[in-house]
Structure 1
């Protein structure tokens, strides 16, 4: 079994070449893929910077108004009666807002998104695991989910510090992302409690895991290679060795309610982007997303065997990324079409109209709307900070009644 404790301590280090023994076989620690010293695809002009600032203001203002006005209705009032319908309403409303991001990437920034491999089936409950090239990998999975009508049902396992981001942290909580500290002794109970609430097969679910636990850098790659050489594991150049406990916890908790697992590999041309690159549209020129469907029966049930299986998948993923680096594409391209510009514009129009209406109600209408906004901000801040989502009143009453019957 891979040592999670040792792997969690793989920190940055400088690029080196060396060799180590793996059993009786000598293996070279190869140079990782270099991400630095590469020019941006497009220059950051004054017009591009202005456009990016305007887009960011629109994204933040619309997010704030959507959350403040809708979240108390969908995640508090509706949830007191039904978790299922609360999730349906939340997913529907906030998927409209989330669609603004693929619109920004593909239509405004002109980033080409290319899908390859196998086609993701619609209306499946799935677990997706992906390599973690950069800080914005998870945002490009919105492009895939939008095409499948599952944008509002994406749930990520992400580091807890992101929950502190203004506005976005509220959104992560409302959409029920799982926040972790990246220390298994702390995260295990949190993850298992949260995963237990996702078991209802009637609730659509796209749960996304990045098993590497952190985004790729040359320094982290060298540290990962050293660990692999010392423990007889595959030496990867284009990704880090996966941490297996979180992945297995997800699989163990949800196996009986999932339809499939998808192995997703992400590659960028010609430079890995940052969030600022995305906002201003300077990078990337292309995003390539390769999908492989895995049947649940193919994944071992025991934790040790599942860990070995995941490491092997990352070895194959590393080979796939090496081929992408050489050729510039993944095999079997063209599995999904472009998003509809007209549909994106229609959703953007709806969001802008709603936001304008909410701003009017807040600033120029009844005083009670100001009270509502103040209450909403206070409630969402409190709920996000303490990671609280209400339980249905009917369910609580039923549990209390059953407990009383047992006593009697």
Structure 2
């Protein structure tokens, strides 16, 4: 019983696949930033609403490609059960953070629930990620919520971003990892020390959640009437743990049986003003996650590791139509990425656009803190 081991010993073929897939995704993100996102920048200031809608869809459709590569090259099988996430209403999604790859596999889950969710989901993540060439630039353009994890620095930015979401008139679902970091060995030990110091139970499958960010986000979303539902997502890995993106890249390590369970809570049912009661609500949800994961990992047989469903739960699978659309979008981005890479390598004139892109994105980070902050200011005049 208990969690499966970390997958570290792999064959040379798996390692080659890891290097190829991750390198291709990285290059595709850079090329897409150069040839799609940079030319769209003037629209940010001319018609921000149209720019926002265009970028949301462009990046959302691009996300199909890494999802498809993960399933085809590594044989990842995604099982999703619970309730449907409504892409047409603003919501807050909370999830345990077992590995650094949770967000990537969650995209695969969203495709099964409703592919349009890839165009409306936003993620709260560490600010350092925005500096990644290509991928980080796209995340900033996609208005992800970047946090330094220092409350005095983050509070004003959290409130500004939620105002931005609400003023856009688009329904976004914001994914938050209340644990603050993935559950690696060091984080687990820190959580154990925290539990010991506070007289709390040490959890085996989750970290104790940090409640401050959750309280601030929920309070602001309520203030601007931008939350109806809180979706509580639990992720579990039945066969193997792959802790980081680097392990996927260098070892070709990838779990093959990934499970998501989605439940929902009416946001109006949470305490309205008492922060301590709101914090306790989150703590109780994490206690429930620990119990759910304990039952999940009770069996040593991979095929028996499943989330126990309620009578009203759904099992989300790809329909024939969804699978065809999924495949078509993946193929489109594969061929487009190959063409853009070929274009860049064979026509030196294209290098000027690439250099301009690097200057623009680095400049936005150094001078303004990132494109998501520029978007906040531009939206004040053009939404």
**Structure 1: gaps (5+ residues):** 1-31, 399-408
Is contact 1:170–1:384 with CA below 8 Å preserved after alignment? no
Q: 2:364, 2:146 → 1: CA distance?
A: 14
Alpha carbons of 1:305 and 1:376: their partners in 2 closer, same or farther (altered >3 Å)?
A: same
**Residue number among 333, 340, 343 corresponding to 1:358 in the alignment:** 340
**Residue number among 313, 325, 335 corresponding to 2:315 in the alignment:** 335
**Residue number among 159, 166, 169 corresponding to 1:192 in the alignment:** 159
Residue 114 (structure 1) aligned with residue 79 (structure 2): yes
Deviation digits for residues 334-385 of structure 1 (CA, Å, limit 9, x no counterpart): 6200375543332233223333443455455594x44333222211222244
Q: 1:355, 1:108 → 2: CA distance?
A: 17
Q: 1:105, 1:112 → 2: CA distance?
A: 9
The structure whose Rg is larger is 1
**Residue number among 28, 38, 42 corresponding to 1:72 in the alignment:** 38
Alpha carbons of 1:122 and 1:161: their partners in 2 closer, same or farther (altered >3 Å)?
A: closer
Q: Secondary structure at the match of 2:178?
A: coil
**Residue number among 271, 289, 293 corresponding to 1:300 in the alignment:** 271
TM-score (norm. length: structure 2): 0.85
- Paired position in structure 1 for 2:188: 221
Deviation digits for residues 92-137 of structure 1 (CA, Å, limit 9, x no counterpart): 1112221112212223211111112222234232210111111111
Residue 272 (structure 1) aligned with residue 241 (structure 2): yes
Q: 1:296, 1:391 → 2: CA distance?
A: 26
Q: Secondary structure at the match of 1:199?
A: helix
Residue 381 (structure 1) aligned with residue 362 (structure 2): yes
Is contact 2:43–2:50 with CA below 8 Å preserved after alignment? yes
- Paired position in structure 2 for 1:102: 67
Deviation digits for residues 16-47 of structure 1 (CA, Å, limit 9, x no counterpart): xxxxxxxxxxxxxxxx9667xx3639x62232
Alpha carbons of 1:40 and 1:220: their partners in 2 closer, same or farther (altered >3 Å)?
A: closer
Length, aligned pairs only: 362
Residue 124 (structure 1) aligned with residue 89 (structure 2): yes
**Shift, 1:251, TM fit:** 1.0
More deviation in 114-123 or 64-73? 114-123
Alpha carbons of 1:227 and 1:61: their partners in 2 closer, same or farther (altered >3 Å)?
A: closer
- Paired position in structure 2 for 1:26: none
Residue 262 (structure 1) aligned with residue 244 (structure 2): no
Q: 1:396, 1:93 → 2: CA distance?
A: 23
**Structure 2: gaps (5+ residues):** 300-304
Q: CA RMSD in A?
A: 2.8
Q: 2:360, 2:14 → 1: CA distance?
A: 37
More deviation in 329-338 or 137-146? 329-338
- Paired position in structure 2 for 1:396: 381
**Shift, 1:180, TM fit:** 1.6
Residue 63 (structure 1) aligned with residue 29 (structure 2): yes
Alpha carbons of 1:183 and 1:45: their partners in 2 closer, same or farther (altered >3 Å)?
A: same
**Shift, 1:291, TM fit:** 0.6
